[in-house]
């Protein structure tokens, strides 16, 4: 359980998301049983560019699927780097929430707890994390398959991590290519997604996470193991998952399955959907995240 990753391919985004979730239905049903506070966390990094943000059809598919097996509270939550409420309105979330009586919640306005991360010198500094995310008992990360300007690729784990940080503190994780990967790793352990969904129906390459260009893939990735999902996502984009720092650290710590050869793929075959994505222009610099002059074991603890 948990090492399986579903890859679905289809003609519409809604049906492809549902298809991916059906592949791992038993794991989802088992995981959500007895839970009372489910959150769905989209990626709305931009309030205006749809390509950079989770499409409402993805959220509709997740909601419709989950409601078949769960009768408790569902909230759609986000802490956008721009304006969350504007993003909700512009991308159809506000109307959907009203029609289905779902709570929309701006994490940037939430109460918080402090978690310690690192500055560029690896000294500890605090960052404010949303209590709404910390206290949820089932977290769904609805990410977009995209390249990134700092950590090569942004997938389900980074989506949950960065969105959970209150807006005024988001800049604090950006402490250079080395520290940011450590910081994503550190925060991820507090806000871990129980279900990872990566929408690659229309993905992004080049200058992501906002200004890249579209890639028509027609796929959706889903797993109850977020590391496995992100590992598969990175591989499909043509990257070695081990060259993405935060995935490397999670794998090193034994959190999730980060070895592509140990992951059971359900649905589409990996090589049939793999495509070399054009990386961000700073890709060569982003790869210099490895820490050689410090005791990495101490930093990861």
Q: Domains (ranges, CATH) in the chain? A: 4-300 (3.40.50.11440)
| Residue 293 pLDDT | 65
Give the separation between CA 16 and CA 21, rounded to whole angstroms.
9
Q: Judge whether 134 and 191 are in contact, CB under 8 Å.
A: yes
Give the separation between CA 166 and CA 223, rounded to whole angstroms.
27
| Residue 227 pLDDT | 98
Angle CA 42–43–44, to nearest 5 = 105
Give the separation between CA 275 and CA 234, rounded to whole angstroms.
10
Tell me which DSSP letter residue 279 carries. P
Tell me which DSSP letter residue 47 carries. S
| Residue 89 pLDDT | 98
76 contact partners, CB below 8 Å, separation of at least 6: 39, 40, 41, 42, 59, 93, 97, 102, 103, 104, 105
Please state the pTM of the whole predicted model.
0.97
Q: Judge whether 287 and 155 are in contact, CB under 8 Å.
A: no
Per-residue pLDDT of the chain (301 residues; tens, 9 = 90+): 458 999 999 999 999 999 999 999 999 999 999 999 999 999 999 999 999 999 999 999 999 999 999 999 999 999 999 999 999 999 999 999 999 999 999 999 999 999 999 999 999 999 999 999 999 999 999 999 999 999 999 999 999 999 999 999 999 999 999 999 999 999 999 999 999 999 999 999 999 999 999 999 999 999 999 999 999 999 999 999 999 999 999 999 999 999 999 999 999 999 999 999 999 999 999 999 998 766 788 898 8
Nearest to 80 by CA among 42, 26, 116, 112: 42
| Residue 112 pLDDT | 98
| Residue 1 pLDDT | 45
């Amino acid at each position: 359980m948990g090492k399986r990753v579903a890859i679905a391919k289809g003609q519409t985004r809604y049906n492809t998301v549902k298809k991916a979730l059906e592949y791992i239905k038993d794991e989802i049903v088992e995981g959500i049983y007895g839970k009372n506070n489910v959150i769905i966390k989209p990626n709305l990094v931009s309030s205006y560019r749809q390509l950079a943000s989770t499409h409402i059809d993805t959220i509709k598919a997740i909601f419709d699927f989950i409601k078949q097996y769960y009768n408790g509270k569902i909230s759609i939550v986000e802490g956008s780097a721009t304006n969350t409420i504007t993003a909700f309105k512009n991308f159809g979330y506000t109307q959907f929430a009203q029609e289905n009586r779902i709570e929309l919640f701006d994490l940037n306005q939430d109460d918080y707890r402090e978690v310690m991360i690192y500055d560029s010198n690896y000294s500890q500094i605090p960052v404010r994390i949303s209590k709404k995310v910390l206290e949820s008992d089932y977290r769904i990360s609805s990410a977009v398959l995209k390249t990134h300007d700092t950590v090569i690729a942004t997938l389900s784990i980074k989506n949950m991590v960065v969105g959970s940080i209150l807006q005024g503190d988001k800049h604090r994780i950006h402490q250079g290519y080395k520290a940011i990967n450590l910081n994503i790793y550190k925060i991820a352990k507090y806000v871990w997604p129980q279900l990872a969904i990566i929408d690659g129906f229309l993905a992004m390459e080049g200058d992501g996470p906002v200004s890249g260009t579209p890639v028509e893939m027609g796929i959706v990735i889903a797993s109850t193991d977020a590391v496995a999902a992100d590992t598969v996502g990175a591989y499909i984009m043509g990257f070695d998952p081990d060259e993405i720092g935060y995935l490397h650290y999670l794998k090193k710590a034994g959190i999730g399955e980060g070895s592509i050869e140990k992951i059971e793929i359900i649905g589409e075959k990996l090589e049939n959907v793999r495509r070399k994505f054009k990386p961000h222009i700073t890709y060569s610099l982003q790869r210099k995240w490895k820490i050689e002059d410090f005791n990495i074991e101490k930093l990861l603890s």
